[in-house]
Structure 1
Amino acid sequence: MIELAAQNSTIRLLILLAIFAVVVAGAMYGLSFANRRITVRSQLDKLQTGDLRITQTQGESLRTRESASAWARMAEAIEAAGLNLTDTKSERLTQLLRQAGYPSPNAPRYYTLIRLALVFALPLIYVLLAYSGSNPPSFLKVYLIGSILAAMGLYVPNLWVRARADRRREAIVNGFPDCLDLLLVCVESGLGLEAAMDRVGREMVRSHPLVAELLSITTLQLRAGSSRDEAFRKLADASAVDEIRSFTTLIIQSDKLGTSVATTLRVYAAEMRERRQMRAEEKAHRLPVLISIPLVACMLPTMIGTLMMPAIVLMVRKIFPLMNIGG
């Protein structure tokens, strides 16, 4: 068996893949066991401090209960096999996924499942494609490329979620000043804050859908019986944008102190328009620095070559022959 494995590269590769799978399975089992211990210890700490909240399964309602999908069944099957898909930094991951536009409570489990699947799927696909041809690559090349693909499968989903969260935050920040202007117009025309938010949410569906979604959700929470403080705090948490957090704080303080909401909206809308103008001016002032990079990298060598070409041609035609004759 050892001689056959030494002579046949395919059998040697299969043996190494089997060893790799055993090592990975052992590592995942150890991580799952440690994760379960950490989860149990955190729950015991919460019990001791009296801060244990109702778990997701106990507090689940008919509205939040999702339909069984392929991802949900796959995640349940993997967790039933003994692998815990709950991340140790679950709160931070849940907040990041919510900022990226995935508010589902099961989103961290799906995220971990996708990363785990990509870590194994990408190297396996490359190995199958590499050894399906007539000229298979060397083992070192397969190992290096497989390791790079596994690292990509581990880190690319994180980068994609962060990029999506940044794009969503930028879209909310860019659309919120227009939302404040429309809210100010509606409030000054005689509408209440709840009716104004409902109207603006319906008007901004096409221009700024993310801002319209946030306003619509807040309006539904107010109609469902939530207090204004609770609804606006949930709005700030769902948006994860500093401007909206400041706006909700101002609205809550105006409601408690009894000041005019229209005055608050007018002052904050002017401040938001000024901030947007400052961001535009900042991007405009950054353009000369950004343009200098392609100028130096692309245009400067071409200009130097164009200016020096006549001198080079003159040297090749007249000076170099004279030097050869003199030698």
Structure 2
Amino acid sequence: MWTPRRILLLCLGWTLILGFYLGYGFVLGSIDGLPPLPKGLMPHSREHLPPLPARPASRVVSKLQLAFGPDCPEVGRQIKIEIGSKKMVFAADQFQPEPDGRVSLKPMSVAIFSSDKSNPRLTEISTIRGQVAYIKFDRPVAQLSDIGNRKIVAAEISGSIEVTNNRRTQGRDDDLSVFIPTGPLHYADARKLIWTTDSVHLLDNQSKPKPIDVRGRGLEIELASEMNQPPQPGQPKKPKGDAVAGVKRVKLVEAVDMHLHVREDSGFLGQSQNQQKPTAASATAKPAPEQQAYIRIKTPGSFEYFFRSEKEGNLAVFSLPEP
């Protein structure tokens, strides 16, 4: 039972406890036993915060940068997707299914990758750019996500078309480039053929210091198919994809006008494969200026260039127009 005496003793006890606590805090509370924070962990204002590390690029973006350059506009496109067993990359801003079953992409950029099985580091990259592309797949496409597991059977590209090939080298100063002002540029997977009837401007930057300049009307690019080896016993069969091993043949159909700047020891449309290595004496001597000959070949007929093995050597053929 609470009595006045017990209530007084309780209040006196709490007063003594509170007094002892306040006295302890006043005398010893200012002593900090923890080590001071490092300068890097001290509070900072937002203006003095270090920048966040850059996010690593995705695989698709890395492939686009490898094909078109690190600062290419394709990196900022709204649509970036891989198809064809990850050997083909698309980039575009607009996607629209057409009534005839095709798909339109605006503007369109595509990169095709082909690795050398004997040396995987030597990757051949072919790129195509255009203002608009109409693509037909092996199965209907209703939405963008369907493209990833489809195969291209035909395509049509129009408007400021640019086609490049890197010659299986990392540098961009020896690329083979083809410019088509209007188009359209067609592709048929069954024939592995790219062609157009528009005027064509070809630059072969492998020739130094001046590139080989070729102009004509009509273009055919035949692609080499990648032969799939049969699977080993017990292994699943690899799915069939858009397997392209590189360029097999390039043909300018008519009205060919070719400007060549070649050295005496160089081959046609490329450097000599049998160049001698410089000796120690010649390496220290001042190199003599290269003598180049200017050659112009103009024909109303066609020009055809075959990419063959190193043993056979590439082959160039000029033909007269049919009567």
TM-score normalised by the chain length of structure 1: 0.22
Tell which has more relative contact order, 1 or 2 (C-alpha 8 A, sep 6+): 1
Larger gyration radius, structure 1 or structure 2: 2
TM-score normalised by the chain length of structure 2: 0.22
